[in-house]
Structure 1
């Protein structure tokens, strides 16, 4: 059996690098580990951390093809972030002009959660711990 340890990172391709960089660093507060411009690919690669843990690779490529990314589309359903207070986190996103769904409660865990999207429509979730 394969002996996986943990998720190493999530890779995201964005359509507008500066807009997504701003969203993930200034709105969500992820820290930049390194930013690399790969001239041969006309592409940026931005390594981001959450609480000093490497978590996201943000890529830019010229003219990436669109992808369906609704929560029920085939493929990645969503990326979830744990928060301590769902209402204050939702309020912060609303203050940043980010559309956020109403808070729901998981019927099995009784935990609160809500969904919003990144600049390219990638579904993101806040899950209260």
Structure 2
């Protein structure tokens, strides 16, 4: 019997500098904070579900690009005691990148270049299925998380 999941709730991005990453995702990429930025002590229960021992102090924000606060969101976290950093590529096992739909890739590309965000690859036009083009470019967030920006021309 299948799991029964019906949609992706959230993705989690752990960052090294909370303010820098919050600015990147909100000011540069246009996300909005659901509710407010908050701090909490990650107790044993929270750390247990993450498979980490001991507690930790966190700053967090739930971010969305939707007008619906119950839509899929990005959980941005920074742990006070930090953690390791692993440089990733799109070939690495596990969650390799996050994809964001944009309305106008040329305008998005001009905006990110104006703000010094390095482009990893693209822009290119892909046709993953007959008749369904995607204009695509990949960038990195301040900690190196790969983000693919995609325009769906047929949905303009």
TM-score, length of structure 2 as denominator length = 0.76
Shift of the alpha carbon at 1:47? Answer: 0.9
> Hey, what does 1:72 align to over in structure 2?
91
- Is the aligned partner of 1:49 residue 2:64? yes
> Hey, what does 1:126 align to over in structure 2?
149
> Hey, what does 1:103 align to over in structure 2?
123
CA contact (8 A) 1:80 1:127 kept: yes
Shift of the alpha carbon at 1:68? Answer: 3.0
Unaligned stretches of 5+ residues in structure 1: none
104 and 44 in structure 1: CA distance in 2 versus 1, 3 angstrom threshold: same
SS in 2 for 1:7: coil
Query: How many residues are treated as equivalent by the alignment?
Result: 129
Unaligned stretches of 5+ residues in structure 2: 43-55
TM-score, length of structure 1 as denominator length = 0.91
Structure 1: how far apart are the matches of 2:97 and 2:149?
A: 10
Shift of the alpha carbon at 1:102? Answer: 2.9
CA RMSD of aligned residues (A): 1.5
CA contact (8 A) 2:8 2:72 kept: no
